[in-house]
Amino acid sequence: MNRHYTVVPRTLRSVRLLGAIALLSAASSTLAADTSFSSSTVSNLRYTLTDLTPDDGIAANLTWTSGFVDVTGYHDGIVFRHFGDGSAPVAGSWTDGADNTAASFEPGTSFGNTVLSATVHADGADDAVGQANAAYALSYFDFTVSAGTAVTFYSDYEIHAGRTEPGEGTYATSTTRMELFDSGTSQDHFDSSWIEAATYQVRDKAGTASVSFSNIYGTDWTGTLTVQAAGQAFAGPLPVPEPSTYAMLGVGLLMLGAAARRRS
Give per-residue pLDDT as tens, 237-252: 655 544 444 344 343 4
Q: Does 25 share its domain with 57?
A: no
Indicate the pLDDT class of residue 156, thresholds 50, 70 and 90: very high
Q: Does 179 share its domain with 246?
A: no
Element of type H or E holding 235: strand 221-235
Residue 134 has pLDDT above 70, yes or no: yes
β-pairing, 92-95 with 78-84? unpaired
In eight-state DSSP terms, residue 168 is T
Q: Could you read off the pLDDT of 174-188 as tens digits, one per residue?
A: 888 999 988 764 456
Of 94-108, 137-151, 195-209, where does mean pLDDT reach its minimum? 94-108
Q: Does 192 share its domain with 178?
A: yes
Measured between alpha carbons, how far is 249 from 236 in angstroms, rounded to an integer? Answer: 23
Q: Does 17 share its domain with 126?
A: no
Number of domains in the chain: 2
Q: Does 22 share its domain with 69?
A: no
Q: Which residues pair with 207 in a beta bridge?
A: 157
Q: Does 199 share its domain with 248?
A: no
Q: Does 245 share its domain with 179?
A: no
Chain Cα centroid distance, residue 62: 32
Q: Does 190 share its domain with 85?
A: yes
Domain extent, residue 15, equals: 5-30+241-263
**What are the CA-CA distances from residue 250 to residues 17, 27, 133, 242, 257 (Å)?**
14, 10, 36, 13, 11
**What are the CA-CA distances from residue 89 to residues 64, 121, 142, 204 (Å)?**
10, 28, 10, 29
Q: Which of 31-45, 54-68, 138-152 has the highest mean pLDDT?
A: 138-152
pLDDT of residue 155: 92
Do residues 93 and 104 touch, judged by C-beta distance below 8 A?
A: yes
Other CB atoms within 10 A of residue 93 CB: 14
pLDDT of residue 19: 41
Q: Does 16 share its domain with 63?
A: no
What φ, ψ does residue 5 adopt, rounded to 5°?
-120, 140
Q: Does 112 share its domain with 206?
A: yes
Q: Does 25 share its domain with 71?
A: no
Q: Does 135 share its domain with 203?
A: yes
